[in-house]
Amino acid sequence: MIRFFTNTLLFVLLVLQLNAQTRTEIQIPDISGYLTLKCDFHIHTVFSDGAVWPTIRVKEAWEQGLDAIAITDHIEYRPHLDDIKSDHNRSYEIAKPLADYNGIILIRGTEITREMPPGHLNALFIKDANLIERDDWFEACREAKNQGAFVFWNHPGWKAQQPEKTLWWNEHTRLLDAKILDGIEAYNEYEYYPEALKWAQEKGLTLLANSDVHDPINNLYDLTKSHRPVTLVFATERNAESIKNALEKKRTAMYFENKLVGDRDFLAPIFNASVKILTENVGLENKQRKLIQIHNHSDVDFILKSNQNPIGYNYRRDVVLKAHKTSVIEINGTMEKIKNQPKLKLEYEVTNLIVAPDKCLQVVWEINN
């Protein structure tokens, strides 16, 4: 009888604990043909130099609206090894059942941790991390690749390893030539490396933005104001295989702070799927002021700037389309003939949607007058 009550109590406590968890979705829309999956591919636990148990990483990911994570404990750096004795696959194995239970896609990964060059590299979709423990860094990378891994260079501009300048080394060319290097982390924790964006575009590398979290995630980001950096993966399905395919085909973008960085082919559809012009007909005449209402149902505040001088009308040059709000753009007629003009063209650049170094997304709206 006592055991029955104890079991019931435990069950009730477990259910209460689960019910106390809530998930906040990251509101960045899907685009035509692809799901926009939110992923963090660089995470540590106590099984290397992190401060938390692997299951906590799954819980954090679920609460923060992620679809997929990779736990990437260091192969070569394990300061807790005297207390936590295990092989390199253990953090994945511990996290996997909870990930399955919560619907989080857990990708088996590891971090090859070397001095610069080549620095730190993450290998995702590996089969056995133990086999990647090698004396020679190139052999470690080759073993990961032989296991079918997707390999990317972590925090290429990390000051501890690149104090003067963010350099591309011969070792990276060697990895690239051997078809081992697939991607580059152009954003890590709080740091953005514009050089990496340039290299990604020049050398055909996949862009990634990850947290590299070691502490509990709440210690790193104030989630009431911000979010962890995520790699947006444009996948055909919500599973590991589709994610791997998308990474290999460079179908990613980076979402960090209030910015999106990636190819125009992805950022333009995200922007278009996020905003909706509510005003169907402006009806603008000379010396009149009208408002165009625009709703943004994404998490991103879109920061718009225009330097256009259209003939016959003016419109606001600086506009912020606030996340989950309806904003207005004021437009006024300056010529008599404007009332007969069927369309009004509004041209902006979205300054926080970055498609190349020093280049942001251009948008053009044609609205019925």
Interface of this chain with Zn ion, residues 107 to 166, rule: CB under 5 A: 111
Strand partners, 188: 191, 210
Q: How far apart are the first and last CA of the chain?
A: 77
CB closer to Zn ion, 74 vs 251:
74
Residue located via tokens 């059942």:
97
CB closer to Zn ion, 61 vs 353:
61
* The two structure tokens encoding residue 288: 């009149």
Site string for Zn ion, 238-257 (x = CB under 5 A): --------------------
Smallest gap from residue 57 Cβ to Zn ion (A):
13
Span of 129-137, 156-164, 176-184, 204-212 interacting with Zn ion by CB under 5 A: 204-212
CB closer to Zn ion, 78 vs 290:
78
Smallest gap from residue 154 Cβ to Zn ion (A):
6
CB closer to Zn ion, 42 vs 259:
42
What stretches of the chain adopt beta strand conformation (E)?
A: 35-43, 68-71, 105-113, 120-124, 150-153, 183-188, 191-192, 206-210, 230-235, 252-256, 259-262, 275-277, 289-296, 302-305, 313-315, 318-321, 325-333, 343-356, 359-368
Span of 26-34, 176-184, 208-216, 250-258 interacting with Zn ion by CB under 5 A: 208-216
Distance between CA 245 and CA 231 in Å, rounded? 14
Smallest gap from residue 222 Cβ to Zn ion (A):
21
Q: Are strands 105-113 and 150-153 parallel, antiparallel or unpaired?
A: unpaired
Interface with Zn ion includes 182 (CB under 5 A)? no
Among 212, 227, 333, 360, binds Zn ion (CB under 5 A): 212
Smallest gap from residue 153 Cβ to Zn ion (A):
12
Distance between CA 137 and CA 115 in Å, rounded? 10
- Cβ-closest residue to Zn ion? 212
How big is the site for Zn ion, counted in residues (CB under 5 A)?
Answer: 2
Q: Using an 8 Å Cβ cutoff, are 132 and 114 in contact?
A: no
C-alpha to C-alpha distances, 166 to 120, 193, 196, 197, 321, nearest whole angstrom: 14, 8, 9, 12, 34
CB closer to Zn ion, 219 vs 272:
219
DSSP per position, 100-126: HHHT-EEEEEEEEE-STTT-EEEEES-
Smallest gap from residue 189 Cβ to Zn ion (A):
9
Q: Which of 240, 239, 216, 237 is nearest to 228 (CA)?
A: 216
> What's the full length of the chain, in residues?
369
Distance between CA 115 and CA 123 in Å, rounded? 17
CB closer to Zn ion, 161 vs 274:
161
Residue located via tokens 């922007």:
271
Smallest gap from residue 310 Cβ to Zn ion (A):
50
Smallest gap from residue 114 Cβ to Zn ion (A):
12
Span of 2-10, 104-112, 295-303, 359-367 interacting with Zn ion by CB under 5 A: 104-112
Smallest gap from residue 309 Cβ to Zn ion (A):
49
CB closer to Zn ion, 171 vs 212:
212
Residues within the interface to Zn ion (CB under 5 A):
111, 212
